[in-house]
Chains A and B, each alone.
Chain A
Amino acid sequence: MSANQDDANLLEVRGLTKTFGTLTACDHIDLTVAKGEIHALLGENGAGKSTLVKMLFGTLEPNSGEIFWNGQAVTITNPGFAKKLGIGMVFQHFSLFEALTAAENIALSLDDGSPISTIAAKARALSYSYGLPLDPQSLVGDLSVGERQRIEIIRCLLQTPQLIILDEPTSVLTPQEADKLFETLERLRSEGKSILYISHRLEEVKRICDRATVLRHGKVVGHCNPRKETAASLARMMVGNDVQAVVRAPAQGIETAQPLLEIRALSRKPATPFSIPLRNINLTVRAGEVIGIAGVAGNGQGEFFESVSGEVPQQDAASVRIRGKDAGGLSITGRRLMGAAFVPEERLGHGAAPRMKLSENLLLSRHATDGKVFVGAGGMVKSDAIYAAAQRIIKAMDVRKSAPDPEAAALSGGNLQKFIVGRELDRRPSVMVVNQPTWGVDAGAAAHIRQTLIELARSGSAVLVISQDLDELFEISDAIAVMHNGELSKPLPIAEATFERIGLLMGGAEPGHAEHALETS
């Protein structure tokens, strides 16, 4: 490598290694990011991508190895120093305070003492100029995942970084939103900035990335130009073998099958000033079919999930019916006892208690439905039984972990999701409602989860999937309905559904929370 090329490298990493106990998360990683390039970091869950970027951002300390910034050796001891260097990061798990507004969250990380109103104005201007509209006054707690990501991106851009690290950024975006993001990224590249782009979506990596570094089991297995590769060849490098494609046999005789989940004229007033009201939602999911619900983030999907799951029961008992019986007035436990199972969007803190072991997290959703198996006389928990059941799920779903029964927070996002989905599948539920089944999950794990959902439906259950990932919905659904501003469209059979038709239903070209706030006010 000549001296000239060295000069063109913004970031160079040599032999970076990080071990946690006996696990080597990153093993002598070499990586160069040139000025003005979009560099992809590819790899499965647990391949070491997150560990690597955490070292680059100063939240983890490497055991050995060197980092060069503009040709100078640096030791990045903390995120503040990384920001000073000009490294910005958008995390997969957002680091936002829910009780604060978007502007306040941004102000916290800027740390330069300028008044909130100035920051809010700057953030609003920047967000609109980059096509990521954001209402700086909205409370983070009321925002959807997609909207929270916008805050993170805007917050990062406000610090005018040289290198922007994006961890799975499009996993929460619709095609249109993703296109917007790509325009933003291409504009940033044309401004001479570099981007380290972590993703498992091979098509988009091929589309926008100039170079790629592929990790597997903590090691670099190759550098390549993704434009010269096929999605299949990239996947092979990543996984080490071919990824199983999802197989969906056409559903037979659905029209006459028994409706297992019926939603009748479901309406709900907004619980907070920023949440979306549900307006007269009607939907039937029959035995054997998968219905997908598409929609831009923050159009009432979260509120809909809460209402269907019973986390928030309804006044009208007939508004949700499970296996032909009214369930609207029942709690989530009551609905589970009728045979329904639920997987929420947020994994840590909603679907699982972060600081509890996997076996205890199994009990979280199954203490009532499997009461006889897991809870003995006098309310004593049968720890052997929950441990054995947790191990069974771990095996069935191929959950990768560092200890026999680790805390939920110790698992990577995809592996925890596999466990959470497996926990419900293990019950053989007759109704399964899943919100964002594969958010931030790598290709191999996502295919596995999707396949199991299809198989569950074909074995006679009703499956309802809420997702912002259109590819996913087209892959697994028998019909797709679209949620927009708290209303649900009629389901389109998959044979009639196209990206264009669904995209039209998803409503305006400028989706976003700010506009809904305006509409309702």
Chain B
Amino acid sequence: MMRLELVKRPQRSMLFSALSPFIAFALTIIAGAILFALLGVNPLMAFQIYFLEPVSQVWQLHELAIKAAPLILIGVGLSVCYRANIWNIGAEGQFILGGIVGSSIPVLFPQFEGPLVLPLMLLFGMVGGAAYAAIPALLKARFNTNEILTSLMLVYVAQLFLDWLVRGPWRDPKGFNFPQTIQFNDSAILPELMPASGRANWGFVFALVAAVLVWILMSRMLKGFEVRVLGSSPRAGRFAGFGINRMVFFAFMLSGALAGLAGISEVSGAIGQLQPVISPGYGFAAIIVAFLGRLNPLGIVAAGLVLALTYLGGEAVQSALGISDKVARVFQGMLLFFVLGCDTLIHYRIRLIGLAAPTLESAPKLEEAH
């Protein structure tokens, strides 16, 4: 008989900090192979279709960038929250509100055209997301409510609000009663980066810029230091004179603004109008992205690309093998599970203990002596 024991390391292991995402990814692959085998599919072929085919052509890389952009933007914002030990689970709602508020310009003023339209929409999107994130922040700062619950519940409010808008007041009058708004005019569409080779739009550039800026904020600036201190030792933060309530607003509104920017970029770039559903769960998948990227904005860029691949792979296995694209959710879930599990190795090492060891033989004798 053997048993496993976790032994705390005196210091966090740099090696496992770096390795943990890769171990998690490997474990996900193994578990995925078992999953495919149980579904009656050759795992090797399934992986070929899931992970390789979606990125085998240039236009597909554009699709990858389209999917990765919102994940990275949201994940980068969430990383600031989580570093501050503030648990914003409602990025999906902030994403939707960003999409709605940003879209208000082309939907309500379809005649308004010109170079001002797009910047205004992006700004409105950020303001919408930030304002929506300010609600759980206010509730936490004022009433000490649990932000996990309030931010999560506001996601459903946002989803239903969008649904009501596109079926009700904002429905396209010439749209044959389909639940959608009018198509945005050309100046309200986020341009494509390289139209010759694929659909990827400026949203991906926004994501990269946001990642670099937040990385500078967190690692080089006093504000980032404040985030890290308050997140890791709140009492030391109070001693430093940092206000925890100010931090709650800062972290929520920053991540809300980035989620809102992702929302309006998605609507004006990839979709071109508002529909009842504008996100395949980006706001939740971005939580995985944030942790897979070690809460480091640059790591989050890589993690966002990996997660984007799971979406594309899900679509690919659905069309090629007839497996439900829900398999993508399963992969995302397993990935988060293994990432969080492997993080244990950073602070603990695993020790195998044989029950036949002499240490435990002597224990019963001593107990008799008592």
Contact = CB atoms under 8 A, between A and B. Distances in A.
B2 interface: no
B166 to A, nearest CB: 41
B215 to A, nearest CB: 13
B241 A349 contact: no
Contacts of B357: 75, 77
A310 to B, nearest CB: 8
Contacts, number: 87
Contact of B362 (A72, A333, A344, A383): A72
Interface stretch (A261-269, A374-382, A507-515): A374-382
Given A86-B366, A354-B233, A410-B11, A344 B228 contact: no
B240 A349 contact: no
A368 interface: yes
A311 interface: yes
Contact of B240 (A72, A77, A367): A367
B363 A84 contact: yes
B108 interface: no
A81 B240 contact: no
A429 B229 CA distance: 24
B326 interface: no
Given A336-B241, A350-B235, A350-B239, A407 B11 contact: yes
Given A84-B366, A86-B366, A381-B220, A360 B225 contact: yes
Interface string A362-379: 011101100000010011
Contacts of A76: 359
B48 interface: no
B39 interface: no
B221 A311 contact: no
Interface in B340-370: 353, 357-360, 362-363, 366-367, 370
Contact of A77 (B223, B359, B370): B359
B42 interface: no
Contact of B239 (A78, A86, A344, A380): A344
Interface in B69-92: none
A338 interface: no
Contacts of A356: 228-229, 232
Contacts of A346: 235
B236 interface: yes
B222 interface: yes
B329 interface: no
Contacts of B221: 378-381
A333 B246 CA distance: 15
Chain A, interface size: which category? 35 or more
Given A378-B221, A379-B221, A81 B239 contact: no
Most buried by A among B10, B237, B241: B241
Interface in B199-232: 220-223, 225, 228-229, 232
B238 A20 contact: no
B233 A349 contact: yes
Contacts of A231: none
Contact of B241 (A86, A333, A353, A379): A333
Contacts of A368: 241
Interface in B1-42: 5, 10-12
A332 interface: yes
A494 B265 CA distance: 72
A139 to B, nearest CB: 16
Interface string A65-91: 000000010111110010011100000
A81 B233 contact: no
Given A84-B367, A331-B241, A352 B10 contact: no
B284 to A, nearest CB: 29
Contacts of B366: 84-86
Contact of A364 (B10, B11, B236, B359): B236
Given A84-B367, A380-B220, A365 B240 contact: yes
Nearest to B221: A379
Contacts of B360: 81
B232 A375 contact: no
A330 to B, nearest CB: 10
A491 interface: no
B235 A75 contact: no
A78 B235 CA distance: 31
Contact of A375 (B12, B222, B367): B222
A329 interface: no
A363 B363 contact: no
Contacts of A490: none
Nearest to A337: B241
A356 B360 CA distance: 39
A278 to B, nearest CB: 19
A355 interface: yes
Contacts of A381: 220-222, 225
B212 to A, nearest CB: 14
A416 to B, nearest CB: 12
A351 interface: yes
A368 B235 CA distance: 18
A485 to B, nearest CB: 25
B152 to A, nearest CB: 24
Contacts of A309: 239
B155 to A, nearest CB: 29
Contacts of A364: 229, 236, 239-240
A76 B366 CA distance: 13
B359 A74 contact: yes
Contacts of A363: 222, 225
A365 B353 CA distance: 45
A390 to B, nearest CB: 14
Contacts of B10: 20
B235 A349 contact: yes
Nearest to B365: A72
A427 to B, nearest CB: 14
A73 to B, nearest CB: 8
26 contacts: A75-B357, A78-B5, A331-B241, A332-B238, A333-B241, A346-B235, A349-B235, A349-B236, A351-B236, A353-B228, A353-B229, A353-B232, A355-B232, A355-B233, A356-B228, A356-B229, A363-B225, A364-B229, A364-B236, A365-B240, A375-B222, A378-B221, A379-B223, A381-B221, A381-B225, A407-B11
Interface of B: 5, 10-12, 220-223, 225, 228-229, 232-233, 235-241, 353, 357-360, 362-363, 366-367, 370
Given A86-B366, A309-B239, A378-B221, 12 more contacts: A78-B5, A332-B238, A332-B239, A333-B241, A336-B241, A342-B239, A350-B233, A352-B236, A353-B237, A364-B239, A379-B223, A381-B220
Query: 5 closest A-B pairs (Cβ-Cβ)?
Result: A333-B241, A353-B233, A353-B236, A364-B240, A75-B359
